[in-house]
Amino acid sequence: MSYTALGLAIAAFNVVSAVFQTPTGFLIDWIGARLILIAGLTLGATAVLVMGLVPSFWVMVVMMAFNGLANTVYHPANYAILSHLISSRRIGHAFSVHTFAGMLGTALAPASLLLLQSLVGWRGALVAAALLGFAVAALLTFNGDRLFDRVRPGTDARAAHAGDGDTGWRLLFSTPIVQNLLFFVLLAITSGGVSNYSVVALAALYATPVSLANAALSAFLLLSAFGVLVGGMFAVRTSHHAMVASLGLLATGAAVLIVGSVDLGAVLLVVAMAAGGLANGIVMPSRDMIVRAVTPRGSYGKVFGFVTTGFNIGGIVAPPIYGALMDHGYPRAVFVVVGLASLAGIVTVITRTRPAAET
């Protein structure tokens, strides 16, 4: 399979995910998150199973599109369940553990699938992954009382479904929600630049060995995961989430700009990238708390679905920018764009206002 063909399948996933995530959020607020989450897991597992069983490129593209549809469920459903179920006193910890678990799964998936591929082939690896998805869906089905999302017809759900007023689309296009969407776009541009382009940019800029550049990137990612847990502790100990996020963004931007400005040598390069990763991770629980603070009860699904679409937007916008900079011989500009995107995120945080529905 060519890289172009693989790119088409990935594009199908991302386009469907970006288009349908917000409508899925509305559906979650209307009928409840648990059933939609189970349906999403089942759909995703089915799509992966078909990819493993049917040897057809176009079937794979269609199944990746269905996987994108399944992906629209996870952010709005998970955040709606957590926001309804966990008390305000502990929600910061819940957000941090949720994000950390996602990062851990992302880190473990490639190695796990490669191991399975070596044992049963790549199709067998996909079938095994699908079976895991079905198992999780079954677990949630038979333990549904543990995921009580407190949405009841005629109360929060009805308000969340209202198409007029400040609980429907007007809420999503209110200033604070749009600012949060932009915040997520900038975070995606920041993380995408570091994760996908820092290694090649370091090699082009300072002739940094690939092994050292990868070690620096690994330090960023590892400390970012640890920073999420640290950020969770901050999130439950202070209500000044905008300040925590701003300081984290400032530190991340400063670290990346330093890396792009000075050849630090091996040790300091790893230290600087680790510091930037730690700060980047600390931002994430406060990021989620900021979104929750401006979301009326009963609208968690649609709001989190809408703002996390920023990840898709950033993922679409960033690669052509970074790719063009590298193609035209401006590796330093990669770090400049990453740093400026991180610093620009501060503006979206400190200038936010509360929506009318919260007043």
Domain 165-352: state its class. Answer: mainly alpha
- Res 132 pLDDT > 50: yes
Mean pLDDT, residues 127-144: 90
Whether pTM > 0.85 for this model: the answer is no
Per-residue pLDDT, averaged over 80-86, amounts to 86
DSSP state of 162: -
| Mean pLDDT to the nearest integer, 206-222 | 91
Residue 241 buriedness (CB in 10 A; 0-12 / 13-18 / 19+): buried
Per-residue DSSP letters for 17-60?
Answer: HHHHHHHHHHHHHHH-HHHHHHHHHHHHHHHHHHHHH---HHHH
Give the percent of the chain with pLDDT over 90: 52
Stretch 168-189: mean pLDDT: 90
pLDDT at 89: 84
Q: Decide which of 14 and 276 is more confident.
A: 276
Q: What CATH number should be reported for the domain whose range is 3-146+153-161?
A: 1.20.1250.20
Which ranges in the chain are annotated with CATH 1.20.1250.20? 3-146+153-161, 165-352
- The answer to whether the CB of 251 falls within 8 A of the CB of 309 is no
Q: Which of 139-143, 155-159, 218-222 has the highest mean pLDDT?
A: 218-222
Cα-based distances in Å from 116 to 8, 60, 62, 123, 172: 25, 19, 24, 9, 42
pLDDT above 80 for 81: yes
Identify the pLDDT of residue 97. 92
Sign of CA dihedral 235, 240, 242, 243: negative
The 10s digit of each residue's pLDDT in 288-340 is 999 988 888 888 889 999 999 998 888 888 888 888 898 889 999 999 999 99
pLDDT value, residue 188 = 92
Q: Which amino acid is at 268?
A: L
Average pLDDT over residues 86-115: 86
pLDDT digits (tens, 9 = 90+) for 84-93: 888 888 888 8
Give the mean model confidence (pLDDT) for residues 137-145.
Answer: 83
Computed over every residue of the chain, the mean pLDDT equals 86
Mean pLDDT for the stretch of residues 42-64: 92
Rounded to an integer, the average pLDDT of 185-210 is: 92
